[in-house]
């Protein structure tokens, strides 16, 4: 199971990557593996605010619906507009082209509070 070292992780199986003052968000390899064939992704409009723990979108596989939870609070600065047209990339490239939103965070400390790769790995084994 792929868990890149340079990312941070949530218990809801999302990953985040810091790009300057933006936090890029996606779902993990484990999450896409558990979901199975992803056929639908719904993302918010850019410009709105999110709070950590809020639902910001939806991802659906053939068999199940899963909510997407904001890992940190802030403003949705950018949305991956191509993803709803190619939802299968969530399975094939979860840490790359299947990024979902970028959040401009108020408090970078929120990112520090998330699990690192070894913490997430332990969480999965737990």
Partner 1 sequence: MFRRVNALNKTPFFAQQESLGGRFVPFAGFEMPVQFAGVVDEHRAVRSRCGIFDVSHMGEVVIEGPQAMDAVQMLITNDAGRIQDGQALYTVMCRADGGIVDDLIVYRDSETRFFLVINAACRSDDVEHMRTVMGSFDCAIDDQSDRWCLLALQGPHSAEILSRVTDLTLGDLKPFHFVEGTVGGVESVRVSRTGYTGEDGFELYCPWETGPQLWSALFEAEPELSPCGLGARDTLRLEMKYPLYGNDIDLERNPYEAGLGGTVRLAKSDFVGRDALERVKADGPSQRWIGFRMEGRGIPRSGYPIRVGELSGVVTSGTHSPSLEVPIGVGYVPSSLAAVNQVIAIEIRGKEIPARIVKTPFLERSHR
CA angle 19, 56, 125 (to 5 degrees): 75
- Report the C-alpha gap between 45 and 33 in whole angstroms: 27
Stretch that binds partner 1, among 1-9, 19-27, 46-54, 64-72 (CB under 8 A): 64-72
Rule CB under 8 A: is residue 115 a binding residue for partner 1?
Answer: no
* Between 87 and 110, CB nearer to partner 1: 87
Q: DSSP letter string over 32-84? A: HHHH-SEEEEE-PPTT-EE-TT-EEEEEEESS-EEEEE-SS-EEEEEE-TTGG
Beta carbon of residue 46, minimum distance to partner 1 (angstroms, whole number): 18
Cα 47 to Cα 31, 79, 122: the distances in Å are 26, 9, 35
Stretch that binds partner 1, among 53-61, 92-100, 104-112, 114-122 (CB under 8 A): 53-61
Rule CB under 8 A: is residue 61 a binding residue for partner 1?
Answer: yes
**CB burial of residue 20 (10 Å; 0-12, 13-18, 19+):** exposed
Q: Site for partner 1 (CB under 8 A): which residue of 36, 48, 53, 113?
A: 36
Rule CB under 8 A: is residue 37 a binding residue for partner 1?
Answer: yes
Rule CB under 8 A: is residue 1 a binding residue for partner 1?
Answer: no
Interface residues with partner 1 (CB under 8 A)?
34, 36-37, 39-40, 42, 58, 60-66, 84
């Amino acid at each position: 199971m792929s868990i890149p070292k340079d990312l941070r992780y949530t218990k809801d199986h999302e990953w985040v990557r810091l790009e300057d003052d933006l936090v890029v968000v996606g779902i993990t390899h484990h999450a896409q593996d558990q979901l199975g064939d992803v056929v639908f992704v719904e993302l918010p409009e850019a410009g709105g605010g999110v709070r950590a723990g809020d639902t910001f979108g939806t991802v659906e596989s053939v068999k199940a619906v899963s909510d997407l939870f904001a890992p940190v609070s802030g403003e949705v600065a950018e949305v991956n507009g191509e993803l709803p047209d190619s939802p299968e990339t969530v399975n094939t490239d979860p840490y790359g082209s299947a990024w979902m939103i970028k959040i401009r965070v108020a408090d970078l400390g929120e990112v520090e509070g998330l699990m690192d790769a070894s913490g997430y790995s332990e969480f999965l084994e737990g």
